[in-house]
Structure 1
Amino acid sequence: MPNLKRLFTVTLLFFLSFQVLAQSQTEPLKVGITSVPPFVIETDDGQWEGISVDLWRQIAEEMGQDYTLVPLSFNDLLSGVESGEIDIAVGALTMTAEREALFDFSHPFYQTGLSIGIPPGPEQSILTSLKGLLSWEFFSVVVALAALLFAVGFVLWLFERRHNPEQFGGSTAQGLGSSFWWAAVTMTTVGYGDKAPVSFAGRIIALIWMFAGLIMVASFTAAITTSLTVSNLQNQINGPTDLPGVTVATIANTASEAYLQDRRIRRQTYPDLTSAMRSTAEGETDAVVYDRALMQFRNQQEGNPLKILPGVFDRQLYALALPEDSPLRGPVSETLLEITESPAWEAIIDRYLGGSDAQQ
């Protein structure tokens, strides 16, 4: 009789445990998401897709797990994982030591990093240089210099026309022409010596003009160089070492802002990636620094207004986030690894990034 009672108790406990386990398995998981294209995208009809969403759907299908997507803001998503209000967070969450102390991560599913976007520069060619010569800036410099040469030559001619008629005499046009020629060769330090003032006042003017000519030549050379420059400041940015000294657009409270702040790079923060990229395209900032995959996707959506420089820096890993000590961590990570090692994962990446070099 005692044995029968013990058997009944064990059977009852097993049945109750089975019921609790079955109930926990059939209860849909709360999966938190936040819009981060191309990892989490809300379509026009209110559906959700993206790299991370498609990955999670395959994981849930392999595990036979029901779930409910719960849209949240980014801050609510992190706090929801930490408190256990949601069972798993799906998005573009960077694995950091600070976050690891608050909740757990699955195995990483995506490696990315920061990249630089700059306005597309003009193609360098002879035609581009000729356009610089025909620009208004270049023309205005030439006109201003000619006016100055004429003014100096005119003053010299007033003093030399009577004291030195052999070199600055003749008709008014001939005298002014000779003095203009003298002012030009003196300024350029060519000094052929064919014409030289002989009066005291003329020599004083010549002495002053010699020193002023040095400054004038330097200024004129700088003006010509500026007008003929075929690549502007943005086109001189080829990598992160070129960022100091320019103004960089980024998004506030992100890994990209932290990178710029740590290196004391002048930055301008914006509320979203689209605003940051448009500021660079419109010339308000010199470059934009952000996650490469996200910036590539947004650039395609906006019609490629920027040139995304090749390569990444400050590499980062993306993973799914779960509450600390979640029993789902092991099964989710195992299934995630199986999927990311299959051709199906490459198909997902190609679908949203078009086979780009974002994952390196």
Structure 2
Amino acid sequence: MEARARLVLSMDNRGHARPINPWKGGVIMISPRYILFAFALMVSLGASMVEARDPALSDRTLIVGTKEAPPFAMKSADGTWTGISIDLWRQIATDLNLKYELRETDLKGLLDGVASGSLDVAVAALTITPEREEAFDFTHPFHATGLGIAMAWKAGNPWVAVLKRVFSPTFLKVVVTLSVLLLAVGMLVWWFERKTNPQQFGGGPAKGIGSAFWWSAVTMTTVGYGDKAPVSLAGRVVALIWMFGGIIMISGFTAAIASSLTVAQLESPVKGPGDLSKVRVGTITNSTAASYLRDKRIGYQTYQTAPEGLQAVAEGKIQALVYDAPLLRYLINQGFKGSLQVLPNTFLRQDYGIALPPRSALRETVNRVLLQKISEPAWQDTVYKYLGE
């Protein structure tokens, strides 16, 4: 008769499980915490096997939607795709051994595709927003930026703008204030010099004050003709104070003139988002910029692509195009350099992420690889390659 081994468990008075060998009668002590550890290990291995069998991570070819959004997603003449987002996705797919097929669509197609599940992934320059998060999932952000404003570069005659500034109420007010100050200093010198120095500041109040005004202006501008000079102690004290004060004043006046000359070509009705309501504005359909303008009650014209919007600015159909700042700068450098510009300041921070269908099995796995990739020095090289920053 064949013998069969059996494991018999009993509990001792200390609460330990006691397997009993039926042949030798020996007792082996096993702690309950080891039993719990073995159970947890089995559960973990089972979960890993379920994940590995997920078709999204194994044999199925993923449908990855994209759209042209230079420099994050760009399609070359031979149909190949490159860009910051595309390069990042390729690295993630390679590390996870994912098979995929790129499918081009528009922005609405990307958003609707991941929301419905007809697209497994959407890769472009997609901004993470609360509204989109309600419809589908995003990975962790891989790039932070903001909205920018593209304007026409003013290339007209800068002297026209300078003349406008010279005859502006603000500038004329400065000139009048300066003239009054010159007159006041001149009158002080005349008062002290009219008796002790009649040859230079005498001849009646009108003539004396006129000579003192002339001396005050010459001293302030540091020309120093030397044709008139105070000789009394009080007059010289006033002159000494005015010499130092004049240097400071003429420096500020010169800086104001230089500023008028240098910014004349940059004269624009829009200095920031607060001025958008005063001009004709455009943006891209279904974009974050469109939502911003709508929330701010700013009227706008929509365009299907950023190049179409920039062309409208160049032709004068609109005065400003509001869209993602890095995309605007890249496109202007490529096709509108010298005719359009992007204002230096951005607003409304935007975080770009990879879009996934709701509760996608890919999310956690892709996130782990994404975070690893963007922490590597090679990622900064990729960003610099396309953006130069």
Q: Normalising TM by the smaller chain, what interval?
A: 0.5 to 0.7
How far residue 29 of structure 1 moved from its aligned partner, in angstroms, is: 2.3
Paired residues of 1:116 and 1:288 also in contact (CA < 8 A): yes
Counterpart among 30, 49, 52 of residue 85 in structure 2: 52
Q: Deviations over 1:102-142 (max 9, x none)?
A: 2111101111211111112248865875899xxxxxxxxxx
Computed over aligned residues only, the root mean square deviation of the Cα atoms, in angstroms, reads 3.3
Aligned to 1:310: 344
For structure 2, the 5+ residue unaligned runs are: 5-45, 166-262
For structure 1, the 5+ residue unaligned runs are: 4-13, 133-229, 356-360
Aligned to 2:383: 349
> 1:231–1:263: structure 2 CA closer, same or farther, 3 Å change rule?
farther
> 1:116–1:73: structure 2 CA closer, same or farther, 3 Å change rule?
closer
Amino acid in structure 1 at the alignment position of 2:387:
L
Amino acid in structure 2 at the alignment position of 1:326:
S
How do 1:1-360 residues align onto structure 2 when only pairs under 5 Å count? Answer: 21=53, 25-122=58-155, 231=264, 235-304=268-337, 305-355=339-389
> 1:236–1:245: structure 2 CA closer, same or farther, 3 Å change rule?
closer
SS in 2 for 1:253: coil
Paired residues of 2:114 and 2:122 also in contact (CA < 8 A): yes
Give me the identity figure in percent: 41
Paired residues of 2:139 and 2:363 also in contact (CA < 8 A): yes
The number of equivalent residue pairs is 246
Paired residues of 1:239 and 1:309 also in contact (CA < 8 A): yes
Amino acid in structure 1 at the alignment position of 2:325:
R
* TM-score normalised per structure 1: 0.61
How far residue 81 of structure 1 moved from its aligned partner, in angstroms, is: 1.4
Amino acid in structure 2 at the alignment position of 1:333:
N
Structure ranking higher on relative contact order (CA contacts 8 Å, 6+ apart): 1
> 1:316–1:309: structure 2 CA closer, same or farther, 3 Å change rule?
same
Paired residues of 1:52 and 1:90 also in contact (CA < 8 A): yes
**d(CA) in 1 for partners of 2:102 and 2:295?**
36
How far residue 90 of structure 1 moved from its aligned partner, in angstroms, is: 0.9
Paired residues of 1:34 and 1:40 also in contact (CA < 8 A): yes
SS in 1 for 2:361: coil
**d(CA) in 2 for partners of 1:73 and 1:244?**
28
Paired residues of 2:154 and 2:266 also in contact (CA < 8 A): no
* TM-score normalised per structure 2: 0.57
Paired residues of 2:151 and 2:321 also in contact (CA < 8 A): yes
Paired residues of 1:119 and 1:234 also in contact (CA < 8 A): no
Paired residues of 1:246 and 1:266 also in contact (CA < 8 A): no
How far residue 75 of structure 1 moved from its aligned partner, in angstroms, is: 2.3
Paired residues of 2:67 and 2:124 also in contact (CA < 8 A): yes
Paired residues of 2:107 and 2:286 also in contact (CA < 8 A): no
SS in 2 for 1:258: helix
Paired residues of 2:150 and 2:321 also in contact (CA < 8 A): yes
